[in-house]
Structure 1
Amino acid sequence: MNDIITFEDFTKIDLRVGTIVEVNDFPEAKNPAYQLTIDFGQLGIKKSSAQITTLYKKEDLLNRQIVAIVNFPKKQIAKFMSECLVLGAVNGKDVVLLNPEIKVANGSTVS
């Protein structure tokens, strides 16, 4: 387990549901990854790099809802600017995406 945080620390994290609307290969990434374009409803469109190529094909990701942290600072990855962090459970070397069980509105908060 990592360091213990306070509830106030947790409330600073903005977790939202979004729908993947575009998926592209990311050959410049150090580790195999996709470039994702995600619709977060009223928050708009954000991009993210995700190392999820071992379990997911590009066509399987389109229109899939995911959970992401949307209030991290932007991060440059090769020539790509990542604007949010898509969440997943690490299973060995694979990452399994976290997603709502039932479709919800894009931009819905996660608590």
Structure 2
Amino acid sequence: MSAPVHKPAGLRNPGGAVRGMGAAGLLVEGLVLLLALLPLAKLGHGDNTAAIWVCVGLAVACFLLCGLLKRSWAWTAGLVVQVVLLAGGFLHWSLLALGIVFGPAWLYVLYVRRSVYANKPD
């Protein structure tokens, strides 16, 4: 039997395509987190100051990570953002809801990244 043949993905720059997909996911997540600030501030019951600051911090982290995805640690940091968002559910239920939406989306981005790099020709 011959060695397995890797079919090319058809991408001229697979790493750039994966980074673009990751950056798009983080950009959308950051924008949604910023859009969540007004409802947290106006419609929340009680003091949501901590939840608001978590939203601001995670949005800034998402925007910063968009430009850092060339570094391998930034992908792990993106996963940490998702975990912190899920943990923010203890501050307000809406953060948990956003974590349930964006957590699996980020896991899919990591799956695609792994698949593209696994099929990369030597």
Normalized against structure 2, the TM-score is what?
Answer: 0.20
Structure label with greater radius of gyration: 2
Q: Which of the pair is proportionally richer in helix?
A: 2
Normalized against structure 1, the TM-score is what?
Answer: 0.22
